[in-house]
Amino acid sequence: MSARAWLLLLLLSVVWGGSFICIKIAVVELPPLTVVLLRVALAAFAMLAVLPAVGLAMPRQPGVWRDFLVLGLINNLIPFGLMFWALTHIEAGLAAILNAATPLFTILLAHLLTEDERAGPRKFAGVALGMSGVAVMVGIEALAGLGTAVLAQLAMLAGTCSYAFAGLFGRRFAGRPALVTATGQMVGSSLLTLPLVLAIDRPWTLAWPSAEVWIALGVLAVICTAFGYWLYFLVLQLAGATNLLLVTLLIPVSSLLLSAAILDEQPAPTAYAGMALIACGLAVIDGRLLARLTSSAAKGDA
């Protein structure tokens, strides 16, 4: 990836890492599915307001809106629904490790379904190293939960597969401005989630959220979602689906560091070892550092 793509990917990981803090605040007073709807709907309104200011407009072709609905389904509604349900049955640490499998599924699917994102052994090795780093950072003891609550674990993995398909499906929007694609996805997600919230959560029966929750929802919608998905589609255009979803290896790092800074949660010593493994995995995937080291070694031998 280019230096620009790496910087945008790192920024995206910080933006999405911060979303966990906002969600943690919001779900204290609101059901998870309602939080999902408010997240995507508020983001959609914010994006629709910004589009005219930057000289952009939404497409009108029915086929494009069909694709936006599909993207909203497989990139938001399905993974959010599966993962939120899974988190009621398995520990968050194990969920984070399973979620880190997203780039592995993306690499496999891209290798099978595309011509231009074929993967070699180096990329698989780098993802495996990164996943081991997530496991070390979260705590190897979280893996003790494997084999219990199997349906919940399968739901988490199905959610990661859905993210992988979404990354590949999103390639069809490569010719459109990233902000337009992100807005279309948010509108599609909102339309699909609204009837579920009305049927399941019945929001008119809920207590009015506190100011703290509304602030968290505002940050979640505008920064973590509207801005975050604009970055998502920029990186997708710059670096492709397999590189884009490396962000799932970086999100635990960003989330942990932000929690330490904002919530005063102190990381365990193993967290730093995990971060080092993730950094090594990303370096292996990128390849440039290894090439330089190999070149330097060859010159030294000569």
pLDDT in tens, 109-135: 887 777 777 767 787 788 888 888 887
Cα separation, 276 vs 73, whole angstroms: 35
pLDDT of 218 higher than 60: yes
The runs of H, that is alpha helices, within the chain are 3-26, 32-53, 62-72, 78-86, 92-99, 102-113, 121-138, 150-169, 178-200, 211-219, 228-239, 241-244, 247-262, 269-286, 288-301
Q: Which residues contact 160 (CB under 8 A, 6 or more apart)?
A: 79, 98, 99, 101, 102, 105, 248
User: How far apart (Å, rounded) are the C-alpha atoms in residues 94 and 126?
Assistant: 20
CB atoms closer than 10 angstroms to residue 17:
21
Cβ atoms within 10 Å, residue 162: 23
State the chain's mean pLDDT as an integer: 84
182 vs 71: CA distance, rounded Å: 10
Picking from 216, 214, 199, 176, the residue whose alpha carbon sits closest to that of residue 71 is 176
CA 233 to chain centre: 12
The Cα–Cα gap between 121 and 127 comes to: 10
In this prediction, residue 2 carries a pLDDT of 83
In the chain the first and final C-alpha atoms are separated, in Å, by: 30
Interval 126-160: pLDDT, tens: 888 888 888 787 777 766 666 667 888 888 889 88
Q: Which two tokens stand for residue 276?
A: 């080092």
User: Which pLDDT value is given to residue 191?
Assistant: 95
Q: Say which amino acid occupies 157.
A: L
Question: When comparing pLDDT for 267 and 52, which is higher?
Answer: 52
pLDDT at 100: 78
pLDDT of residue 19: 81
CA atoms within 13 A on the CB side of 206: 18
Q: Which of 92, 67, 253, 240 is nearest to 164 (CA)?
A: 240
Contact at 8 Å (CB) between 137 and 253?
yes
**Percent of the chain predicted with pLDDT > 90:** 35
pLDDT tens digits, 276-299: 888 888 888 777 666 665 655 555
Residue 195 pLDDT greater than 90, yes or no: yes
302: pLDDT strictly greater than 70:
no
CA 65-69-74 angle, 5° bins: 145
